[in-house]
Structure 1
Amino acid sequence: MRRDPLRYVKTGLAIFFAAVVFLFLDYTLPYKQTVRITNTYNRLTDIGANSIFYASPDTGTVENSKGQRDVRFIDTVRPNGKVYVYRNEDTGWIWPPFFKYDSSNLHSQATDLKSTSDAPKWVSVTSYGWRIAWLSVYPNAIKIKPVDGPDARPTNWGAQITLVILGALLFLIWRMWNQFRERTLSPAARSVDEAFDRVGDDARQAKGRLSRWWSGLWGKRG
């Protein structure tokens, strides 16, 4: 059975595209975690190769001559006892589209909600991004809301609504592509095939006439 090499290329491209879309959504979509805030502080942070994971300069962030930035951080503890650290930066008006300009207010709120393990105050932190320790990358907190206890799991409406809208857009694009292919590409492909068939028929007819002429010419000479 003969295998089509182009099929493997298409499959590889499809897998690569799907992986890129998944990582993009996984980083950008907001998610919620129930945690207990243990500390809030500012720290001069080195911004270098990991700058893509921090706020862009147009949000008002300022770096010194050493490439360091004064970043707000929020230390938390999950219900299972594992620590989790958030950064608290404005997002601006470009990307991601959270339009966050209240990082100072959020910092004050987080400070007010600090608690100890003896008298815990549980909160739901809405954030986006990844925590990559070896790259000093932190998710960005965008909202904090008190909850009843460590078992609280607020509905992540933002991510769900976004996924529904994206799904509807993809379905619409898929329908438009199918209609374009059926109404434009398929007839054009058939027209090209028919044109090639006509050219082939004309070429065969011309070859037949040339062959008869050549035979007749030699017949006269014979």
Structure 2
Amino acid sequence: MWTKLKWAIRLILLVVVGAFLHYTLPHRDVVRITGTYNRLTEVGANSIFYASPDSGSTTASVERRDIRFIEAVFPDGDVMVYRNEDTGWIWPPYFKYDSSNLQAEASNLVSPASAPQWVAVTHYGWRMPIFSIYPNAVKLRAVEGPDVRLIPWVNIVVLLMLGGLWLMLWRMWAQFKERMIEPAVDDLNNTLEAMDQQADAAREKARGFWSRLFGRK
């Protein structure tokens, strides 16, 4: 039972960490931009997926914001809508302050289906229509075509650093366990074993006393 509980906790932690990294790390989509617009948007229960109120482009009101959006189409015809908000110095650490310039770039890259201009959109976050959640675009770059190969160097570096950090922490924990916990457990086991031996000796002594008292052999 305890083993199953430990594996369940590990699985939950793995899912939480994986979801956090998937939301936070940058992704790049190759799309055709079809339009840009601003919209007064109500931000309520889903505010965790929007920029903080003090990130530059947001208004003083947390509930209603004038948010920039970028409409796009994938090569297979699926559509995508990105929001375009400053992140400032708040998490995630993209330090984005140029949402106005990015919106101008997006408007300049709008193209029709007859003469498509493919664009690599770097973004973070998820698109969940049911909750009105949009990924936040942080960078645009025109590319030659929809089949261009994009290597996620940032993700590779970040994951390697996290892997190295995890390995370092694991080694530190293993050394701490070997030097501190295991000797303490051994000492405790030795103490308990010595107490058991003393108890056995006391029982044998008491048994011998009563045997001599009543003349038993």
TM-score, normalised to structure 1's length?
0.91
The residue type equivalent to 1:199 in the other structure is M
Distance of 1:206 and 1:105 partners within structure 2: 86
Contact 1:92 / 1:100 at 8 angstroms: preserved in 2? yes
Contact 2:38 / 2:68 at 8 angstroms: preserved in 1? yes
Classify the secondary structure of the residue corresponding to 2:75. Answer: coil
Q: Deviations over 1:76-112 (max 9, x none)?
A: 1111111110000111213111111111111111111
Worse overlay, 81-90 or 177-186: 177-186
The residue type equivalent to 2:35 in the other structure is N
Distance of 1:176 and 1:44 partners within structure 2: 51
Q: 1:64 to 1:91 in 2, by over 3 A?
A: closer
- How much does 1:64 deviate? 4.2
Contact 1:124 / 1:146 at 8 angstroms: preserved in 2? yes
Contact 2:53 / 2:61 at 8 angstroms: preserved in 1? no
Over the aligned positions, Cα root-mean-square deviation in angstroms equals: 1.6
Distance of 2:201 and 2:114 partners within structure 1: 97
- How much does 1:214 deviate? 3.3
- How much does 1:134 deviate? 0.6
Distance of 1:92 and 1:213 partners within structure 2: 83
The residue type equivalent to 1:74 in the other structure is I
Aligned counterpart for 1:199 among listed residues 175, 195, 199: 195
Identity fraction in percent: 50
Classify the secondary structure of the residue corresponding to 2:67. Answer: strand
Q: Is residue 175 from structure 1 mapped to residue 195 from structure 2 by the alignment?
A: no
Classify the secondary structure of the residue corresponding to 1:17. Answer: helix
| Partner of residue 77, structure 1 | 73
| Partner of residue 128, structure 1 | 124
Distance of 2:204 and 2:100 partners within structure 1: 87
Q: Is residue 20 from structure 1 mapped to residue 16 from structure 2 by the alignment?
A: yes
- How much does 1:218 deviate? 4.1
Q: Which consecutive residues of structure 1, in runs of 5 or more, have no partner in the other structure? A: none
Distance of 2:139 and 2:51 partners within structure 1: 16
Classify the secondary structure of the residue corresponding to 1:58. Answer: coil
- How much does 1:8 deviate? 1.0
Aligned counterpart for 1:163 among listed residues 143, 159, 183: 159
TM-score, normalised to structure 2's length?
0.93
The residue type equivalent to 1:15 in the other structure is L
Distance of 1:108 and 1:157 partners within structure 2: 26
Q: Which consecutive residues of structure 2, in runs of 5 or more, have no partner in the other structure? A: none
| Partner of residue 38, structure 2 | 42
Corresponding residue pairs, total = 215
Distance of 1:137 and 1:98 partners within structure 2: 19
Worse overlay, 184-193 or 135-144: 184-193
Contact 2:52 / 2:90 at 8 angstroms: preserved in 1? no
